[in-house]
Amino acid sequence: MLKIANRIDAGVSWLVESGVQHLEGGFAAWYDVERRDHPYLYAEITGYLTTLFCQVYARTGDPRHLAVATAAGDWLERTADARTGAFRCLVPLHDGRFAAKKDLVYAFDTGVIVNGLANLYRVTGDDRHLKAAVRAADWLVGTAQLPDGGFRPVWDASAQAFAPEADDWSWQPGGYHTKVALGLANLAQLTGGDEYRQAAIRACEYTLTIQAGDGSVGHPGGIHMHPHEYAAEGLWATGLLLNRPDFVAASRRATEWLLTLQRSDGAVPRFVRAGMPVYAERVDVQAQALRLASLHGLPGKLDELSELVAGHQADTGDVRSHGGWWFGRLSDGAPVPHVNVWVTAFAVQALGLRDGGSLQPRFLV
């Protein structure tokens, strides 16, 4: 089995060299090994990768890594919505089912991007990146945030109105929006803007009101681990940035609950519905669980979970896919032929922690 450090290097190399970052600077969501293409450029994931490569550059000092982050941030700055300063979900690269989302603006995505642009400004000092972060944050605080601290989830840029809520968790306000708080808290530290600090606190306090006594953060119809983990991540990072130990403690409880559901191979469920866990593997969910457990120093089947995550790294010999991480499976168990950008970013950070590394809160992706 490859050493963890070699796996991390291979993952970073795939992100740099595979073509998954397009010449414009935006990152595709994944590489489809059957279609041999990328479906769309994904703003949220480009925000994550801006942050990831700021972290990687801080570790390596390699100018190629700063160039990746800068190109990503430049693309985001250029593609911000002219009216709101927020960010459309995606740019389609060909016709398909994803093109319908091209005018949708998710509050969650915009929060992730605010964090990426703030991190990039800390490195480059380029005012364009800071101005783009501030304008997007002003939209989040002034337009998208609800009085209870949650966020209206989806803005339709073509209609210039918020879209009606729907059954899918990403179309509802929820605890996952605490990851928006991370970007606001980072920007508050950078600018001294108390409005961003207070908005971040309200977002986290909202999540505390919906967290169950066992630590879980659910939605109507069940508990999806991906947004549950987003809630735990946002509480951890924002709590540390804003010196709120109650937020960090809530994140720990959420992670402890998650680890009670591990299988013998270390896997955590994809979701829990009617009290029953379903384990069809999303590798991002597994990497997030490993990262959270490592950040909190919690016991669990972490060696097994590390092997499970590492075992989903693509070993294809094809530069377009080799070294990235597979997405995993659909809810029905069918394998997905995608080498995925955000899964790779999550796995790189999770395995880095298992290899003795550390993670500054603002660098969490």
Instruction: Give the domain CATH number at 112.
Output: 1.50.10.10
Mean pLDDT taken over the chain:
97
Which of residues 220 and 298 earns the better pLDDT score?
Answer: 298
**Strand (E) or helix (H) holding 106:** strand 104-106
Domain of 110, in residue numbers: 4-354
The sheet with strand 271-273 has its strands ordered as 223-224, 271-273, 276-278
Specify the pTM.
0.97
Residue range 226-278, pLDDT digits in tens: 999 999 999 999 999 999 999 999 999 999 999 999 999 999 999 999 899 99
Q: How many CB atoms lie within 10 A of CB 61?
A: 9
Tell whether the model's pLDDT for residue 220 goes beyond 80.
no
Domain count, the chain: 1
Tokens of 357: 């590394």
pLDDT attached to residue 2:
75
Residue 364 lies in a domain: no
Separation of alpha carbons 245 and 214, rounded Å: 18
Residue 361 lies in a domain: no
Residue 362 lies in a domain: no
Read off the DSSP letter of residue 49. Answer: H
Q: What is the mean pLDDT of residues 134-160?
A: 98
Burial of 67 (0-12, 13-18, 19+ CB in 10 A): middle
Tell whether the model's pLDDT for residue 1 goes beyond 80.
no
Residue 52 lies in a domain: yes
- Closest by CA to 26, choosing from 357, 341, 351, 365, is 341
Residue 170 lies in a domain: yes
Q: How confident is the model at residue 96 (pLDDT cuts 50, 70, 90)?
A: confident
Which of residues 185 and 220 earns the better pLDDT score?
Answer: 185
Residue range 12-30, pLDDT digits in tens: 999 999 999 999 999 999 9
Tell whether the model's pLDDT for residue 144 goes beyond 90.
yes
Separation of alpha carbons 320 and 327, rounded Å: 15
Residue 360 lies in a domain: no
